[in-house]
Amino acid sequence: MKRLLLSTVFLLLVRTFLVAQPAGFKWRQLAPGVWKADVGKVEKISPLGVAGVKPAVEALKKLGSPSFPTWLAESKSELSDGKTYLRFPLQREEQLFGLGLNFKSVQQRGRIKTLHVDHYNGKDDGRTHAPVPFYVSDKGYGVLVNSARYITVYAGTGVRKDSKNPPKEMDRNSQKDWDAQPYSDAVEILVPSLGTEIFVFAGNNAMEVVQRYNLYCGGGTLPPKWGLGFTHRTPTLFSDQQVLKEVADFEANGYPLSFLGLEPGWQTKSYPNSFVWDSQRYPNPKQFLDNLLQKNIRANLWINPYVSSHAPIFKDIQPYTASHTVWVGQVPDFNLKPARDLYKGLFTEKHLNLGVSGYKIDETDGFDNWLWPDVAKFPSGFSAEQVRQTYGLQFQKMSSDWFREKNTRTYGLVRASNAGASAMPYVIYNDYYNHQDFITALINSSFIGVLWTPEARSSATSEEWLRRMQTVCFSPMAMLNAWADGTKPWTFPDVADQVKEVMQLRMQLLPYLYTTFAQYHFEGKPPIRAMNLVEGFSFKEKTVEGKLNSTDNPYAQAVKKDIKDQYMLGDYLLVAPLFAGEKSRKVILPRGKWYDFYTGKLVGEGETIEIQNNLEKIPLFVKDGGIIPMTLPMLHTPRKEEVLPLFIRHYGTKSNTFNLYDDDGETFDYERDAYAWTALTVTTAADGKTEGRHVAGKEFRYKDVKWEFMSR
C-alpha cells in the first residue's frame, strides 16, 4: 500500500515536471505602477534592451503608486513546442488599443496580428513600421511583451473550453444578433522562443498607463525647437545651388522653413550608400551647411544603412556584416561594437562635425524582397528575425547618442521602430500615402510611444493639397517631402495663401507645441492623443459591418465604431481634419464646453456636432478654460538667445493655469535643471471680469506678453 502511494506520488511529480502546466507569473515591481515577470529563458536581445531605456524613476513616483491590476492575477504562461504561450484575461466591455502602428483601426480587441517590422501593406495584420508588442486596456493597465520575435497576438479571439466567462452558444437560423465572432475572455500570445519578459503598467485610466509606459522608457523625446518648425525635403540629385535656390524661394515667398532634408544624391552613391558627399553636387559641404545655418536653417541627411563598396568603411566593416546584402550593399550588424564605432567615426567626421543636424533613416523596415531574408546570418549570432525587429530602433539609439555626446539635440525620421522608442528623437513616415489612414496612424502612435508624420508629397487637386498640408501642420513633424515630385507649398496657386496661413499658424503655436512635447518628456503624455485617451470622452457605438451577402459579407460581424478622424494636440486643442471631397463632418466633443479656435465662439458641450466644409481652415476646437500660448508667425524657429513676443489666448469662461515650458531649445542642459515652467494664470470673476497673470522666472524667453480673451 505504502509502495503504491509512493509510486503514485512519484508519477505525479514526473508528470508535473515533464508536462508543463500553465503557470502564473512571478511579478516583480520595478517602479511605482510597473511590474515585470520573466517567463522561461529570457533572450539576450529585446527591444527595450536595444533602445537602452533608462526609466524616469522620479517622474514615475510623482505619477502615484497604483496597485497591481487584480484582473491580471489570473494570467498564465506555458512553454511548449519551443515557444512561449501567454494568456491574459479580459473583462466583458474592455477595449484594447495599441499593438503596433496601425493605419486602419484603433480598437484592437477581436483582432489577430503577427507583429513584424515591415513597410505597411494596407492591412492591420501586424506587419508595420513599429509593431510594438504593447496593448493598453481602457480598464487601466497595459501589457508589454518585450520580445524581438515575430509574436502572434490573438487579442480576444480564441474561445477556450475551460473559459471562466464563455460566450453563449447562439443559433444563426433563429437569432438575429448571432455574431460571426463569439466573445472571447482572453488575449493569447504566441512568442516563438522559449521565454520572454513581460511588463505590466497600471493606471487609473488608459492615459496614465501610456504615461507610465513612456516614462518607463525614459520619458518622451523633447525635440529641439527647430524640429517643431516646418521642414522641406528637396528632390533627389539636387545640388547645393538648387537647394539654396529653394531656400531663397521659401524666404522670398514668405513660407516658413526650419530644416531641410537632402534626399539621395547628396552622396556619391546611394542604394547602397557611400555616405560621403558628392563633390560635383556639393563641392564644399561645410560652406553649404554654414550658409544654411546663417539663415537659421538646419540640414538633415537621407541615408539607408547599407554599405556600398565606395564607402570609406567598406573594407573594415566586412567582418561585422551579415551573410546577405541589401541592394548588394553590406548589412552591418550593429549589435557589434566595431560596426557601431565605424559608423560613428565616419558619420561624425563627414556629417556631424560639419554641422548636419540629423538623419532620415530609410529602408530599415522592409519590404521582404529588398531586405535580408530570415535565413540570413549575422556575426553577433542573433537571428535575422531578431535583427529585423530591432534594426531601426538600433540605428535610432546609436545615432541619437552621437548627437547627445555633442550636447546637441537632433530630430529626424525613421521607417522602423519598436518598443522602447519613446525617448528616441525620431518620427516615423512611409510611402503608403492614404490621407485618412495617415491620420489613423497619427492617432494610434499615441498608444505605443512613437511619433508619426502624415507627410505631404503631392496631390491630385488643390483641395487635397491644402487638406494634407493642414494636417501635417498638426502633427509631430510638419513636413513636405518633395523627393520625387518637386512640390512646393505654393505649387497649387489657388490654395497657396491658405497653405501659407496654416504653416504660419504652426510657427505661431511653437510655445504651445514645445510645452506639449515637454509634457511628453516630463510626464509621459503623448503630444498627439487619441480621443480614447482623453478624459470625458465616451463613444461606444456598435455597428454591423456591411449587409449580409454571399460574396463580400457572408459572416456579418458586429464591430465597435472607431474614432479615427479627430484627435487632441496637447491638453486643449481638438483637431478635426477634413479630407478632400468632404462637404461636412461630425465632431464628437468630450465632456464640457468647447470653443472654436479661430473665433472663440461656443460650438457645443459634450455632444456630437456637424460642421460644414470651410476650405480655408482646418477645424480646431478648444476646451473650456483652454490656454494657448502663441508667438509671431516667424519664418524660422528662434535661435538659442532669441526672445519672442508672447500672445496668450484664453477660451471659454473657466479660470485656469497653463504651465509654459521653456529652455534653450537646443541642448541637453534641461537634464541638468536649465529649464523653467512658468504659470500662466487666468481668473474669471463672477462679474465676468477676466484677468491673466504670469510671473516670469529664469529660462523664460518671451517678452511683451499680451492676453487675448477669445470668448469674451
Tell me how far, at minimum, the Cβ of 478 lies from ligand GAL, in Å. 16
Amino acid at 52: G
Reported in sequence order, the residue ranges of 369-459 that DSSP labels E, i.e. its strands, are: 412-414, 426-428, 451-452
Site string for ligand GAL, 284-303 (x = CB under 6 A): ------------------x-
Tell me how far, at minimum, the Cβ of 420 lies from ligand GAL, in Å. 23
- From 208, 240, 263, 571, residue interacting with ligand GAL (rule: CB under 6 A): 263
Separation of alpha carbons 506 and 509, rounded Å? 5
Q: How far does Cα 248 stand from its chain's mean position?
A: 32
Separation of alpha carbons 297 and 312, rounded Å? 29
DSSP-derived 3-state class of residue 600: coil
Separation of alpha carbons 236 and 248, rounded Å? 18
- From 142, 218, 223, 264, residue interacting with ligand GAL (rule: CB under 6 A): 264
| ∠ CA 192-196-199, rounded to 5° | 130
Tell me how far, at minimum, the Cβ of 233 lies from ligand GAL, in Å. 7
Separation of alpha carbons 314 and 684, rounded Å? 67
Q: Which is nearer to ligand GAL, 249 or 485 (CB)?
A: 485
Count the Cβ atoms, other than its own, within 10 Å of residue 236. 16
**DSSP per-residue letters across 215-282:** HHTTS-----GGGGSEEEEPPTT--HHHHHHHHHHHHHHT---SEEEE-TTSBS-TTTB--SB-TTT-
Q: Which is nearer to ligand GAL, 134 or 302 (CB)?
A: 302
Tell me how far, at minimum, the Cβ of 374 lies from ligand GAL, in Å. 21
Q: Which residues pair with 303 in a beta bridge?
A: 361
Residue located via cell numbers 552621437: 402
What is the 3-class SS of 24-77, one letter each residue?
A: CCCCEEEECCEEEEEEECCCCCCHHHHHCCCCCHHHHHHCCCCCCCHHHHHCEE
Tell me how far, at minimum, the Cβ of 471 lies from ligand GAL, in Å. 17
Residues 6+ apart with CB under 8 A from 507: 229, 230, 256, 631, 632, 633, 634, 635, 637
Tell me how far, at minimum, the Cβ of 270 lies from ligand GAL, in Å. 7
Q: Does residue 218 touch ligand GAL according to CB under 6 A?
A: no
Q: Which is nearer to ligand GAL, 236 or 380 (CB)?
A: 236
Q: Does residue 362 touch ligand GAL according to CB under 6 A?
A: yes
Q: Does residue 483 touch ligand GAL according to CB under 6 A?
A: yes
Q: How far does Cα 678 stand from its chain's mean position?
A: 28
Residues 6+ apart with CB under 8 A from 162: none
Residue 570, all three cell numbers: 496637447
- From 211, 481, 504, 711, residue interacting with ligand GAL (rule: CB under 6 A): 481
Count the Cβ atoms, other than its own, within 10 Å of residue 518. 23
Tell me how far, at minimum, the Cβ of 363 lies from ligand GAL, in Å. 6
For 158, phi then psi, to 5°, come to -75, 140
Residues in region 556-585 near ligand GAL by CB under 6 A: none
Q: Which is nearer to ligand GAL, 127 or 593 (CB)?
A: 127
Q: Which is nearer to ligand GAL, 137 or 300 (CB)?
A: 300
CB 345 within 8 A of CB 335: no
Q: Which is nearer to ligand GAL, 75 or 396 (CB)?
A: 396
| ∠ CA 436-440-441, rounded to 5° | 115
Tell me how far, at minimum, the Cβ of 167 lies from ligand GAL, in Å. 43
Q: Which is nearer to ligand GAL, 269 or 585 (CB)?
A: 269
Tell me how far, at minimum, the Cβ of 446 lies from ligand GAL, in Å. 23
Residues in region 23-82 near ligand GAL by CB under 6 A: none
Q: Which is nearer to ligand GAL, 301 or 531 (CB)?
A: 301
H or E, element range at 440 = helix 435-445
Q: Which is nearer to ligand GAL, 390 or 453 (CB)?
A: 453
Q: Which is nearer to ligand GAL, 76 or 457 (CB)?
A: 457
Q: Which is nearer to ligand GAL, 360 or 636 (CB)?
A: 360
Size of the site for ligand GAL (CB under 6 A): 8
- From 74, 374, 401, 431, residue interacting with ligand GAL (rule: CB under 6 A): 431
Q: Which is nearer to ligand GAL, 378 or 483 (CB)?
A: 483
Q: Which is nearer to ligand GAL, 93 or 431 (CB)?
A: 431
Tell me how far, at minimum, the Cβ of 577 lies from ligand GAL, in Å. 22
Tell me how far, at minimum, the Cβ of 224 lies from ligand GAL, in Å. 22
Tell me how far, at minimum, the Cβ of 415 lies from ligand GAL, in Å. 6
Q: How far does Cα 430 stand from its chain's mean position?
A: 13
DSSP state of 383: B
Q: Which residues pair with 623 in a beta bridge?
A: 594
CB 246 within 8 A of CB 255: no
Site string for ligand GAL, 313-352 (x = CB under 6 A): ----------------------------------------
Q: Does residue 452 touch ligand GAL according to CB under 6 A?
A: no
For 177, phi then psi, to 5°, come to -90, 20
Q: Which is nearer to ligand GAL, 416 or 578 (CB)?
A: 416
Tell me how far, at minimum, the Cβ of 481 lies from ligand GAL, in Å. 5
Reported in sequence order, the residue ranges of 83-185 that DSSP labels E, i.e. its strands, are: 83-89, 96-98, 111-117, 127-128, 134-137, 141-146, 151-155
Tell me how far, at minimum, the Cβ of 489 lies from ligand GAL, in Å. 17
Q: Which is nearer to ligand GAL, 212 or 415 (CB)?
A: 415
Tell me how far, at minimum, the Cβ of 100 lies from ligand GAL, in Å. 19
Q: Which is nearer to ligand GAL, 134 or 483 (CB)?
A: 483
Residue 305, all three cell numbers: 544603412
Q: Does residue 265 touch ligand GAL according to CB under 6 A?
A: no
C-alpha dist (Å) from residue 253 to 117, 248, 496, 635: 41, 8, 10, 10
Tell me how far, at minimum, the Cβ of 567 lies from ligand GAL, in Å. 24
How does strand 528-530 pair with strand 478-481?
unpaired
Q: Which residues bind ligand GAL (CB under 6 A)?
A: 263-264, 302, 362-363, 431, 481, 483
